[in-house]
Amino acid sequence: MTTVSPMKKSGLKYFPRDPAAEPTLRVGHLLHEMCGASSTFIYRLVTNPAVINSVFCHHRTHQDLYPHAQVSMTRGSQNVKRISRKIVGPRLANRISKHVEKLEWRRFLRRFQPHVLHCQHGYHAVRYYPLLKSTNLPFVVTFHGSDINGATFNKEYLRNLKVIFDKAESCLFVSKALQKRAIELGASPTKSRIVYLGVDEPDFTPTNSQRTTDCQFAVVASFVPCKGHDTILQAFQNALQTLPGAKLHLFGQGPLQDRIQWLIKSLQLEDNVRVHGEIQNSDVLRFLAENIDVVVQPSQRDDAGCEEGLPTSLCEAATLSIPCIGTNCGGTSELLLDDETGLLISQRHVAGLEHAIIRLAHDPALRFRLGRSLNSHYKEMIRSGHGLDGVTEVYHSVCATSSRRLNANLQEERQS
């Protein structure tokens, strides 16, 4: 195949070197944040060893937890916006900031020369679409949950999302439920693919306790409405009449943190519920393995339409063979098959959740069986053509299509 110059500029369009002529694919990832304390699945994607990865992001946190050498941040545009807002006003400051961001984007393309771009969230794809369309590079988008489920509540976002569906070479979804919803909103079935992202296998093994009335439960989730903390606290209060020694551990932070603290106090749960806040993911996993008997994910569809894609905390519990209780929300039911790989209840069902808590607390043998079944089922989900290998396959497929298109365009240019 004909090889194109590394970064031939034509107007605002950039033509990368033919992917077929390169020994290893180069992928440019677009993020808002690199990376949140709980973003282990994102970090696995941007460090995929099968390709050469680079990252273009708005800001960066937790560099000690998630090191990465090839990261470009939009610092210049942020600084220009902050300074010029005081001088020329917000409207002109935004225009100047966008121009500087374009310059930073071009610098990123020249430096890392990606063959394909990967937006790690639907919101990021909409946010960065002006930059995406300024190139001839194919792009892929991974959708995680709220970026699809909340679309009907924002007409402008939905309109932009349909553009992304049309222009993206491939749309990846973390659950079947999310893919189905996206297709209803206009995503192409032929471009859509399920990718269960997977989480890293822990370096330690869990302790299989025989606790009953002093059973230890955990919820690992941001303090936001769709995570259902109100439901678990009410159900746990009721369950304490049967399980007076039980403990509930909450890991996370978010806008509802003050409300959750108030609810714990008003329900008189201070002695039985502990809020750990947001801590390192590895420390959370170690705590789960060493102390927790059951992981609970009481997710629900909130008033803004947001709901789970596939809860990362349940995937992490699966790697530890810890039994789980979840709600029939989003992709949870793909991982938790009721009475086979976990206990599945209806959303916002306080009595149902209370019953599930008591049932697992009183039956260590059931906890052991469900935990082992969940671990096997999760591994089979990842093995069945998904996970990082599935994402890598998408990259190669997209680049093969891009390569054919690129060479066809070159042929047309020569003939004309």
Residue 107 near residue 83, CB atoms below 8 Å: no
Residue 255 and residue 322 share a domain: yes
Residue 163 and residue 88 share a domain: yes
Strands 13-16 and 7-10, bridge-based pairing: antiparallel
Query: CA distances (Å), 44 to each of 178, 193, 211, 378, in order?
Result: 21, 18, 35, 17
DSSP state for residue 39 in the 8-state scheme: -
Domain CATH number, residue 31? 3.40.50.2000
| Residue 89, pLDDT score | 64
Segment 184-236, tens digit of pLDDT:
999 999 999 998 877 767 766 777 788 888 999 999 998 999 999 999 999 99
Residue 399 and residue 362 share a domain: no
Helices 281-291 and 312-319 sit at what angle, rounded to 10 degrees? 50
In this structure, is the dihedral angle defined by the CA atoms of residues 131, 103, 121 and 320, taken in order, positive or negative? positive
Q: Does the residue 265 lie in any domain?
A: yes
pTM over 0.85: no
Q: Does the residue 126 lie in any domain?
A: yes
Residue 132 and residue 115 share a domain: yes
Question: 């790989």: which residue's tokens?
Answer: 341
Residue 345 and residue 391 share a domain: no
Angle at 382 between CA 390 and CA 384, to 5 degrees: 70
Stretch (H or E) spanning 105: helix 90-112
Q: Does the residue 249 lie in any domain?
A: yes
* β-sheet with 216-220: strand ranges across: 273-277, 247-251, 216-220, 294-297, 324-327, 343-345
Residue 184 and residue 80 share a domain: yes
Q: Does the residue 7 lie in any domain?
A: no
Q: Which residues pair with 277 in a beta bridge?
A: 251
Q: Does the residue 322 lie in any domain?
A: yes
Residue 345 and residue 401 share a domain: no
Residue 95 and residue 65 share a domain: yes
Segment 52-79, tens digit of pLDDT:
999 998 777 777 777 777 887 765 555 5
Residue 43 and residue 89 share a domain: yes
Q: Does the residue 2 lie in any domain?
A: no
Q: Does the residue 3 lie in any domain?
A: no
Task: Specify the number of domains making up the chain.
Answer: 2
Instruction: Tell me which residue range forms the domain holding 329.
Output: 216-382
Q: Does the residue 205 lie in any domain?
A: no
Residue 335 near residue 176, CB atoms below 8 Å: no
Residue 163 and residue 29 share a domain: yes
Name the residue type at position 387: G
Among the listed residues 231, 228, 272, the one whose alpha carbon sits nearest the alpha carbon of residue 249: 272
Residue 351 near residue 330, CB atoms below 8 Å: no
Residue 263 and residue 182 share a domain: no
Residue 406 and residue 378 share a domain: no
Question: Cis (ω within 30 of 0) for the bond into 35?
Answer: yes
pLDDT beneath 70: ranges in the chain: 1-23, 36-39, 74-91, 93-94, 200, 203-204, 385-386, 409-410, 413, 416
Residue 132 near residue 160, CB atoms below 8 Å: no
